[in-house]
Amino acid sequence: MRAAVAVAQSMEDPLSGLSLREIPDPEEKPGWTRLRVRSASLNPHDVWTLRGVGHPAERIPMVLGCDGAGVTDAGDEVVIHPVLGDPNRGGGDVTLDPGRALLSETVNGSLADFVLVPDACVVPKPTWLSFDDAATLGIVWGTAYRMLFTRARLKAGDRVLVQGASGGVGSAAISLARAAGARVFATARTEAKRAFALEAGAHETFENGVRLPERVDIVVDTVGEATWAHSLRSLQPGGVIVTCGATTGNMPPAELNRIFYQQLSVIGSTGSTRAEFEALLRLLEASGVRPHVDSVVPLDDIASGFQRLIDGDVRGKLVVRVS
């Protein structure tokens, strides 16, 4: 089968370690389901793997791809919930299992003609969702759902600021918060990206760092150093900042005086449980919200998709059509 494989790691030139090559089809094994991948999507996680961040060199080569949707050998149309682990070791929450992993961290990922995933990660694909749309959901939409509803405990009427509005997590968070009855502010670096944020559901958009018309209850920040100080300043006393990533760096000043004096909560969030992922699907169906697909590239053209992701030139998600 064809597969997009990380064969080497380079911080400066991540695409030098990407190889589209023929590898053997995965063999079936008990407790695992084999899918013919119809669509997958690209995530910064794949680029971190190619850069050598968070993915040890001894786990190379590895087929990339955390997200996907396809058809099982039995003919069922399914979408992948990509968090692999044992909920029992996480007190009932797979994301709290110390040994959890994302698809493509410990086993081959979805950017290939076939992928083998644990049975527990296979979720029926709703008929109202296309394969391309379904392939965007596992990582960023699942993560945004958990950030807002489980971790930050969003309520209807809350005011929410989303930093990095055009990103995968950012644009999903905008749409989900709006669907849940929040007032949504968003920041993005260009006029075109701010226009996209409005289409995704933001009520108002701003350039990065601009003072908001009012303070907010929740900030969704995946950007890190470039936005953190603004995130802290934008919260009302008692507010919550929820983070799942640090694209621009993970060491902003802590500003402890602001955190204790304003009684702010800084909350981390990673991935989603299967129950959260299924709830996300129900929320999309009930609200009519649909994923934001920037464009679709064929698997054979995957390097150009990764280049756009690295350049920051994406609104929502880049989908890879595999078959």
Ligand X SMILES: NC(=O)c1ccc[n+]([C@@H]2O[C@H](COP(=O)([O-])OP(=O)(O)OC[C@H]3O[C@@H](n4cnc5c(N)ncnc54)[C@H](OP(=O)(O)O)[C@@H]3O)[C@@H](O)[C@H]2O)c1
Report the residue number, 47 or 180, with the smaller CB distance to ligand X: 47
Q: Is the distance from CB of 235 to CB of 219 less than 8 angstroms?
A: yes
Burial group, residue 73, by CB count within 10 angstroms (0-12, 13-18, 19+):
exposed
Report the residue number, 17 or 252, with the smaller CB distance to ligand X: 252
Site residues for ligand X, 231-290, by CB under 6 A, read 244-245, 247-248, 270-271
Q: Of 135, 200, 223, 319, which one interacts with ligand X (CB under 6 A)?
A: 223
Q: Is the distance from CB of 152 to CB of 240 less than 8 angstroms?
A: yes
Contact code string over 53-92 relative to ligand X, x by CB under 6 A: ----------------------------------------
Provide the Cα torsion 206, 210, 211, 213; round to 10°. -10
Q: Of 63, 107, 139, 219, which one interacts with ligand X (CB under 6 A)?
A: 139
Binding of ligand X at residue 167 (CB under 6 A)? yes
Report the residue number, 114 or 162, with the smaller CB distance to ligand X: 162
Q: Of 168, 201, 252, 291, which one interacts with ligand X (CB under 6 A)?
A: 168
Q: Of 49, 166, 231, 234, which one interacts with ligand X (CB under 6 A)?
A: 166
Q: Please report how close the Cβ of residue 135 comes to ligand X at its closest, in angstroms.
A: 14
Q: Is the distance from CB of 239 to CB of 265 less than 8 angstroms?
A: yes
Q: Of 5, 50, 134, 169, which one interacts with ligand X (CB under 6 A)?
A: 169
Binding of ligand X at residue 193 (CB under 6 A)? yes
- Determine the interface stretch with ligand X among 42-50, 55-63, 255-263, 299-307 (rule: CB under 6 A): 42-50
Q: Of 39, 43, 136, 205, which one interacts with ligand X (CB under 6 A)?
A: 43
Q: Please report how close the Cβ of residue 163 comes to ligand X at its closest, in angstroms.
A: 7
Report the residue number, 225 or 278, with the smaller CB distance to ligand X: 225
Q: What is the token pair recorded at 87?
A: 């909920």
Query: Which has the closest alpha carbon to 294: 140, 143, 126?
Result: 140
Helix axes 191-200, 168-179, angle to 10 degrees: 40
Q: Which residues are within 8 A (CB) of 82 and not within 5 positions of it... i.e. 6 or more apart?
A: 66, 67, 68, 102, 103, 110, 117, 121, 138, 139, 142, 271
How far, in whole angstroms, is CA 304 from its chain's centroid? 20
Coil, strand, or helix at residue 322? coil
- State phi, psi for 70 to the nearest 5 degrees: -170, -155
Binding of ligand X at residue 109 (CB under 6 A)? no
User: For residues 25 and 1, what is the distance between their CA atoms, to the nearest angstrom?
Assistant: 6
Binding footprint of ligand X, residue count (CB under 6 A): 29
- Determine the interface stretch with ligand X among 110-118, 187-195, 229-237, 276-284 (rule: CB under 6 A): 187-195
Would you tell me how many other CB atoms lie within 10 Å of the CB of residue 192? 11
- Determine the interface stretch with ligand X among 72-80, 106-114, 122-130, 168-176 (rule: CB under 6 A): 168-176
Coil, strand, or helix at residue 239? strand
User: For residues 114 and 323, what is the distance between their CA atoms, to the nearest angstrom?
Assistant: 10
Instruction: Cite the DSSP H helix spans in the chain.
Output: 44-51, 131-134, 142-145, 168-179, 191-200, 228-234, 256-261, 274-287, 302-311
Binding of ligand X at residue 137 (CB under 6 A)? no
Q: Which residues are within 8 A (CB) of 210 and not within 5 positions of it... i.e. 6 or more apart?
A: 187
Q: Please report how close the Cβ of residue 3 comes to ligand X at its closest, in angstroms.
A: 22
- Determine the interface stretch with ligand X among 103-111, 122-130, 164-172, 251-259 (rule: CB under 6 A): 164-172
Binding of ligand X at residue 44 (CB under 6 A)? yes
In the complex, the residues that contact ligand X under the rule CB under 6 A are 43-45, 139-140, 143, 164-170, 188-189, 193, 208, 222-223, 226-227, 244-245, 247-248, 270-271, 312, 314
